[in-house]
Amino acid sequence: MKIHKEGRRILFVTLLILLALNLLMFYFNKGNVLVNRLFAGATVIIFLLILQFFRSPFRHMFTHEDLLLAPADGKVVVIENVFEPEYFEDERKQISIFMSPINVHVTRNPISGLVKYFKYHPGNYLVAWHPKSSTQNERTTVVVESDAGPLVLFRQIAGAMARRIVWYVNEGDEVSQGEEFGFIKFGSRVDVFVPLDAEVKVELGQKVKGGETVICQLKV
């Protein structure tokens, strides 16, 4: 287990602020030891909650050119055929993973290949399960030409708590399955779009681990 680089500055600043607040409490409220201790305990809990947002556990990953790995930790909330309007402009199979506040927020490449398309979209912060979050929230869209051949689209989507999406890929990059392609601070959902003939390997409500759980198999 390690702390992700995206959280180090936030954690450092948070620690300084909480320490300063505790020093002020103990200085101006010397006579009320119980209240001071309760306040100190509350700040420790706050810091630990923020700390767990930025944990980055080690994962035992494998690579296979026609298998897609989960791009994030969380729960499968959508498996359906939908019209994908941004890049494919046709019907695709969508698999969506919801990341709760207690999940790891690292996002990983579901498959190896060449990045054919990338775009960042500023937007709103609707709750991640809102039907319009995929098209109206802050998000990124990545399309990879997989080593197996088919194109795969995956999308980071911010939620009600998330206010910052980070990405590490650009058009023309070669990406490797399981490696980090980004981070969603404090949330919240990743959508994957695959060809209609892809075989889904997960079920609605199933909990998955990014970089470990196989979510579908491409037809090649």
- Whether 100 sits among the annotated catalytic residues: the reply is no
Secondary-structure percent of the chain, ordered helix, strand, coil, rounded to 5: 20, 35, 40
**Are the CB atoms for 7 and 63 separated by under 8 Å?**
no
- Phi, psi values for residue 79, rounded to 5°: -140, 105
DSSP string, 68-114: EEPSSSEEEEEEEEEEETTTT-EEEEEEEEE--TTS--EEE-SS-EE
Catalytic residue among 112, 133, 146, 188: 188
User: Among all residues, which ones are annotated catalytic?
Assistant: 188
